[in-house]
Structure 1
Amino acid sequence: MTNTLISNPLLWSDVPDVDPIRIGNVYYMISTSMHSMPGCPIMRSEDLKHWEIVSYVFDTLEDNDGHNLHGGNHIYGQGSWAASLKYHNGIAYVCFSCNDTKAFYIYQTADIEHGPWTRTVIEGLRHDPALLFDEDRVFVFYGNGDIYLTELLPDLSGVKPDGIQQLLFETEREGIGLRCEGCHAYKLNGYYYLLFIEWPREGNRRRRQICYRSRELLGPYERRVVLDDDLGYHNKGVAQGGIFDTPSGDWYAMLFQDHDAVGRIPILVPMTWEADWPVFGYDGKVPAQFTVPLPEKPGQPLVISDEFEYEEDRLALQWQWNHNPDHSSWSVTERSGHLRLRTADPTPSVLQARNTLTLRTEGPACEATVLLDTSGLQSGERGGLIALQSHFGTIGVRVDEDGRRWLSMCVNDGTGGDRELAATPLEGELVHLRIVFNFADSIDEATFHYSLDGSSWTVLGETLHMKYTLDHFMGYRIGLFAYASSQSGGHADFDYFRYRRLED
């Protein structure tokens, strides 16, 4: 058997709140998806290095004004948070809370890669939940600082009426800014293990990994700091995530690290056991490189190019919509080899545009290029590319009231609206658009370019100094958009989407 070299960060892209499991010889993990649809991506790996999206838990979560970007409503920074993934007796389970609906969701399936998933909705938030199957009983741990335990019915269809529902314990307060959250629960070695993160006010003042353990479900629990390291990156701690073993008995943790504008990125950490405590990393440090005793098996990349050659209106799994899509207003079959985005409900801002189609960005740098056919855009409509976060930047084409086309670069005006920084007339209907992202060493800049021939490029507008903000709580995404500011009815056709990761 050959070894596979692991280099951290494992994925230099926004895959936050990871929770990994193993089923046989295959590894799966889930992550937070918030306002991106479909949601709760299931990622698969056989070598712990290459992770590909194989499915999603749901296509849409709810059908309401916020999820549909209707009437000025939205769920930016809300939606599904910190999902827990477990596999028990041949069934895969996912649970999470949704901040905007104030509800707790449980999904289950016998086929983790293909579904279908059935769901249960239970009233009330359970912050950063962790499922635990304990023989013929099932529990959910959750909370921020004050950690609670609730027993569920054996089929997970609701809370067990006569089961345990109580405050389990209170975590440290002295010298702590953000108290324990992000729970992951396990029963191993005769102990109950609860893994958390906390953010101290003293010492290194960065997120760190905490473990509580007890031989009894209800405690008392012992506490230990099990990892406090930043991989040399701006004092941003590697923490929060789950642990798993290999068939040969090796142990690993899949955690993540805040990496500024690109988002929260996964880190793989080797793990051992000492006196029944988990020990993360080597000598308290996360290794930048190490090997795992598994043969390398590449999969599909996390971000792709796409020529939009489809036989049905079903996109590659890497794509996600910003909020719920309007399926009547997009197609990849209406015009062969093109993504057509029809303008739907009029909106004053790209942040409220339906059917913005998105992909993650990747570090250290990357670029996204499209060929846009603007012939279908009508007066008052726009189409183009966006560096999507609250502090966004766009490059595209707007059509003014007399039908004239303008190349336009815009940013957030401070209220979520579009502020145009530069514009130049577009002669003709075809234009190549490009955004270049630079995340190296937290430079976090994006530049906006256009070309009329696909080879000679011109910068338009200003450099965007990208910022990760908590109102969106997501790393920058590449988005393809089309929307109307007044009357809708037109469309934008994207001939291709071409992506390139730029290495150091």
Structure 2
Amino acid sequence: MNKVEAPYPLLPLDYPDPDVIRVDDTYYLVSTTMHFMPGCEILKSYDLVNWEHACYVYDRLDSTPAQCLEGDLNIYGKGMWAASLRHHKGSFYVVFAANDTRKTYLYTTSDLSKPWKKQFIEGFYHDASLFFDDDERIYLVYGNTQIWLTELKSDLTAPKDGGIHKVIVSEEDNPNLGYEGSHFYKINNQYYLFLIHSLPTEWKRVQVCYTATSLDDPFVGKEVLNDDRGYFNQGIAQGGIVDSTVGDWYAVLFQDMGAVGRLPVLVPVSWEEEFPVFGKGNKVPKRIEVLANKPEYKYAPLYGSDDFRLSAGTPYGLKSFWQFNHEPNIDGFSINPEKGYYEIINQKTSKEMTQSQNMLTQRMTYPTCAAEVTIDASKLKNGDTAGFAVLQYRYAFIGIKRENDQYRLILTSYSGKSDKGKVKQSEKNATVLIELPLDRTTITFKIEVDFRDLSDKVQFYYKDMNEYIQLGPDIKLFFDLEHFVGNRFALFSMATESIEGRARFFNFNYFK
């Protein structure tokens, strides 16, 4: 049999809260995408090790003012969380709650290449797991601290009148993180509930399993994985389990790895007396091999370079590894495949870089990565800045600013907190670290990032006479809960005085 060895981490990218299923010989994985659009990305694999983009569930969610970055509104750190992915009687189902709208969404399709049908489930269900039982009754398992089992109507629109609605597991005295991240299954007529929590004595993510022989019986269980694989006491937990075509079982969980984000980790699962055993001795083994169902298959990359000359047919005409920071303003960007550039046309003024619309982003890769892009700022207006950024709550960027009809090379960062503590996103004041006069309007910029051993630092460069020159010092990066995602490369244009200024981005090159 053809087998492939799983790397650690499984994916070097920020794909948190994974849920995984298998349909015939194909595995599918869904992950939290928060505020990014298009959103709710689904990956596919034939071996659980190599993954490629399958589809986005939606290109926009509800087009609320905050989702569209109108005024000072935004949904950073909100949007869709912890989706549940299921396949039942020929259809795919995705359920998730959005923390900005406080709604629960259900999307369905029979074919991942076709549009998804959108509907709502009445109520708000945190980290919900959708479950179809053998008797055709349907449930959601969800919650934080208290884990609820709620029966749904057959059309999945709301809780069923008179149906089951009860707490099945509770942990209310944990000073850190109580039970959440539900993943619910029925395997060999036994019910299994997988959860994440922190150790009460210290912050560390730990995987937990509870089981029962019927939904009327009490669920009993214990911790099944307490391991950091030698990585700074950052535990591995929360995710789905799946069986292979030959009956082997695996879990896809995630691990906090600093500013790069929360990265998936593959863990083998075995069974002893109908109870799951994660890894060996509750630890993740150093070597994991998985059967490859299509060993000759060539996977498309989950990140990469782009000359903007070829559309992959995805939403908005961009390659699948690009996402906007929020729902894009359609009038505010264009792609020119003949000349090969992505253009932002400023449609609003803002005081804050993170409030600029049509920012184009890609995940960064662990343990190191770099990227370069050429920016033509000749059509900026006074008060505009076009740049290449590291996007997170505490961001930094290098770019070109036009002011009083003069162009300036600038390096800017936002360090996080004001003297008064936390500040609203719209009230942040970034610091210009370096500002130099420019005699040209087109420059190639480069960003180099090092995540090794939580060093989490970035260096910014500009090209002069075919030589890269570092601008400013190394800057520390952070994973902040205000955005709750890993740092990303970002292309942006920001207006502070008037709209309709333009910036063009050419030849984005990604180096791993």
2:439 aligned partner, one-letter code: E
Q: CA deviation at 1:158?
A: 2.7
Secondary structure of the residue aligned to 2:354 is: helix
What's 1:20 paired with? Answer: 20
Deviations 1:417-463 (A, max 9, x none): 3321001112112100111110011100011110134x301111232
Paired with 1:172 and 1:236, the residues of 2 have a C-alpha distance of: 23
Count the aligned residue pairs.
496
* C-alpha contact (below 8 Å) 2:96/2:105 kept by paired residues: yes
* C-alpha contact (below 8 Å) 2:122/2:159 kept by paired residues: no
Q: CA deviation at 1:176?
A: 5.4
* C-alpha contact (below 8 Å) 2:256/2:262 kept by paired residues: yes
Deviations 1:256-281 (A, max 9, x none): 00111000000011111110011111
Secondary structure of the residue aligned to 1:325 is: coil
Secondary structure of the residue aligned to 1:447 is: strand
Paired with 1:483 and 1:365, the residues of 2 have a C-alpha distance of: 28
Q: CA deviation at 1:190?
A: 1.7
Q: CA deviation at 1:65?
A: 1.5
Deviations 1:335-355 (A, max 9, x none): 621111111200111110000
What's 1:356 paired with? Answer: 359
What's 1:452 paired with? Answer: 464
* C-alpha contact (below 8 Å) 1:99/1:125 kept by paired residues: no
Q: CA deviation at 1:155?
A: 2.6
What's 2:6 paired with? Answer: 6
Paired with 1:271 and 1:290, the residues of 2 have a C-alpha distance of: 11
Q: CA deviation at 1:212?
A: 0.6
Paired with 1:188 and 1:139, the residues of 2 have a C-alpha distance of: 16
- Shift of the 289–416 alpha-carbon distance from structure 1 to 2, 3 Å rule, reads farther
Paired with 1:355 and 1:14, the residues of 2 have a C-alpha distance of: 21
312, 333, 336: which one aligns with 1:333: 336
Deviates more, 1:309-318 or 1:437-446: 309-318
Deviates more, 1:53-62 or 1:151-160: 151-160
Deviates more, 1:78-87 or 1:459-468: 459-468
Paired with 1:182 and 1:388, the residues of 2 have a C-alpha distance of: 26
What's 2:279 paired with? Answer: 281
Is 1:293 aligned to 2:326, yes or no?
Answer: no
Is 1:318 aligned to 2:321, yes or no?
Answer: yes
* C-alpha contact (below 8 Å) 1:8/1:287 kept by paired residues: no
What's 2:431 paired with? Answer: 419
What's 1:494 paired with? Answer: 505
Paired with 1:280 and 1:167, the residues of 2 have a C-alpha distance of: 26
2:396 aligned partner, one-letter code: G
2:184 aligned partner, one-letter code: A
What's 2:268 paired with? Answer: 270
Structure-to-structure mapping, 1:88-127, within 5 angstroms: 88-111=88-111, 113-127=112-126
Deviates more, 1:405-414 or 1:242-251: 405-414
- Shift of the 317–334 alpha-carbon distance from structure 1 to 2, 3 Å rule, reads closer
1:316 aligned partner, one-letter code: K
1:431 aligned partner, one-letter code: I
Paired with 2:195 and 2:114, the residues of 1 have a C-alpha distance of: 30
Structure-to-structure mapping, 1:61-210, within 5 angstroms: 61-111=61-111, 113-135=112-134, 136-171=136-171, 173=173, 177-202=176-201, 205-210=203-208
* C-alpha contact (below 8 Å) 2:121/2:156 kept by paired residues: no
Deviates more, 1:137-146 or 1:333-342: 333-342
* C-alpha contact (below 8 Å) 1:176/1:198 kept by paired residues: no
* C-alpha contact (below 8 Å) 1:342/1:483 kept by paired residues: no
492, 495, 504: which one aligns with 1:484: 495
* C-alpha contact (below 8 Å) 2:104/2:123 kept by paired residues: yes
Structure-to-structure mapping, 1:394-433, within 5 angstroms: 394-401=397-404, 403-412=405-414, 414=417, 415-433=427-445
Paired with 1:267 and 1:464, the residues of 2 have a C-alpha distance of: 28
* C-alpha contact (below 8 Å) 1:350/1:417 kept by paired residues: no
Paired with 2:288 and 2:337, the residues of 1 have a C-alpha distance of: 48
Unaligned runs of 5+ in 1: none
**Identity %, equivalent residues:** 39
Paired with 1:292 and 1:310, the residues of 2 have a C-alpha distance of: 34
Structural RMSD (CA): 1.5
2:3 aligned partner, one-letter code: N
Structure-to-structure mapping, 1:21-60, within 5 angstroms: 21-60=21-60
Deviates more, 1:287-296 or 1:351-360: 287-296
Paired with 2:334 and 2:144, the residues of 1 have a C-alpha distance of: 43
Deviations 1:309-350 (A, max 9, x none): 036860011110001101111111286211111112001111
Secondary structure of the residue aligned to 1:328 is: helix
Q: CA deviation at 1:62?
A: 1.4
* C-alpha contact (below 8 Å) 1:120/1:158 kept by paired residues: no
Secondary structure of the residue aligned to 2:178 is: strand
Paired with 1:287 and 1:423, the residues of 2 have a C-alpha distance of: 50
- Shift of the 223–100 alpha-carbon distance from structure 1 to 2, 3 Å rule, reads same
What's 1:442 paired with? Answer: 454
Paired with 1:177 and 1:495, the residues of 2 have a C-alpha distance of: 46
Paired with 2:349 and 2:338, the residues of 1 have a C-alpha distance of: 23
1:187 aligned partner, one-letter code: K
- Shift of the 359–17 alpha-carbon distance from structure 1 to 2, 3 Å rule, reads same
- Shift of the 471–154 alpha-carbon distance from structure 1 to 2, 3 Å rule, reads same
1:319 aligned partner, one-letter code: W
* C-alpha contact (below 8 Å) 2:412/2:430 kept by paired residues: yes
What's 1:220 paired with? Answer: 218
Paired with 1:79 and 1:302, the residues of 2 have a C-alpha distance of: 22
Deviates more, 1:259-268 or 1:161-170: 161-170
1:427 aligned partner, one-letter code: D
* C-alpha contact (below 8 Å) 2:122/2:158 kept by paired residues: no
Deviates more, 1:315-324 or 1:280-289: 280-289
Paired with 1:445 and 1:92, the residues of 2 have a C-alpha distance of: 40
Secondary structure of the residue aligned to 2:340 is: coil
Paired with 1:40 and 1:27, the residues of 2 have a C-alpha distance of: 16
Q: CA deviation at 1:172?
A: 6.2
Deviations 1:64-108 (A, max 9, x none): 221011110110100001000011111110001111111111111
Deviates more, 1:179-188 or 1:143-152: 143-152
Unaligned runs of 5+ in 2: 418-426
Paired with 2:333 and 2:230, the residues of 1 have a C-alpha distance of: 44
Secondary structure of the residue aligned to 1:144 is: coil
